[in-house]
Structures are given as C-alpha cells and as structure tokens.
Amino acid sequence: MMVAVDPGDIVRGVDLARDKRLVTIDGMMEDVLPGIDLHAAPDSHTWGSMWVTVRNDGKKDSQDTWVLAGDLVYQFDNITNDGAVVDVDEMYTPVGLAVGSQTNLILATEEMMSQVDYEARRVIPIHEEGLRDAFPSRISKEGLRITEICLADGESSKVA
C-alpha cells in the first residue's frame, strides 16, 4: 500500500452513508455521547485529525476531564519535553510526521492541555509505551496490553 487511506475503508464508508449509519461532523461536536466531546484539528497530523474530550462527571465545566489525543500526541514527551534548547523548563514537541502544519499541532496540544488544566497525565497519547508505567495495566491471555486510565467511583480495578 502506498497511501495512508485503504480504498476498502472508503467503500465501507460509502456503504455506511447509504445505510444512514454514518454521521460526519465539521468542527467540534459537544456531547456526541453524554460527557464526550469531539474536537477537530484540521491541517495538523492529517487533514482530518481529531481528539476526544471525556468529562467523567458529565459537567460542562468539569473537574474530571481526560483527553484521548489520537495521533496528535504520540508520547508524553510531545507535551512535556525538555525545553533547555530554548531556555524554558518544558515545551511541546509536535509529532514529526504530519501532512499539515506543525504550528497547528502545537496549538491543538495547547488546547488539549488547557482542557485538563495542564495536568499532562490526563492527556492520553495512544502510542505511548509508558502508559503501562503511568497507569495500572496487564497483558491479556491473548497477549494484548490492557491499561486502566480511570475508574468510576466505587468501581474496583479490572486489571489488578
């Protein structure tokens, strides 16, 4: 395959649209499900990059927000990298592979960080191997890693 788009995915998307089972969005969508918001990051990692905000308490002004960064942040180092090279303590370092603007990647990272009150561990970089060290995790019998980011009040661990 020579491109990042599988033609079979396009065909499946057309089938879903025809069956009225596909919803497309343009920009941000609040409460796509209760407490879950979608955010567009156009012209960044890809033309249609997005991230997901999860407000665990369901409140608009949540005190329990997490961000699923998608491909906009690969590793924790993308949000808390050593800034000595530019004489600051820490800096954002955008992912190296992008079809769009590195500036837009940095702006999206800033927006994600502001949503979690700059608590970097609440921005989940889905490619980060260190998630296993930052959060409880285990390997399933199928050999897949399961990482537990957070639990609802009163719930017991599913990975312990």
Residue with tokens 């180092």: 77
Closest CA to 71 of 53, 96, 107: 96
pLDDT tens string 30-84: 999 999 999 999 999 888 899 999 999 999 999 999 999 999 999 999 999 999 9
Whether residue 30 contacts residue 40, with contact meaning beta carbons closer than 8 Å, is answered with no
**pLDDT band for position 135 (cuts 50, 70, 90):** very high
- Structural contact between residues 58 and 75, judged by C-beta atoms closer than 8 angstroms: no
Task: Fill in the amino acid letter for 141.
Answer: K
Beta strands 81-82 and 137-139, pairing class: unpaired
Contact 79, 92 (CB under 8 A): yes
| Model pLDDT for residues 15-31, shown as the tens digit of each residue | 999 999 998 888 999 99
pLDDT band (50, 70, 90) for residue 87: very high
Return the structure tokens found at 140: 């399933």
pLDDT of residue 3: 62
Residue 136 has a pLDDT of 95
The terminus-to-terminus CA distance of the chain in angstroms comes to: 40
Helix (H) or strand (E) holding 8: helix 7-18
What local confidence, expressed as pLDDT, does residue 1 receive?
45
**Residue predicted with more confidence, 12 or 99:** 12
* pTM (two decimals): 0.86
Q: Is the dihedral of CA 117, 155, 149, 5 positive or negative?
A: negative
H/E element, 108: helix 102-115
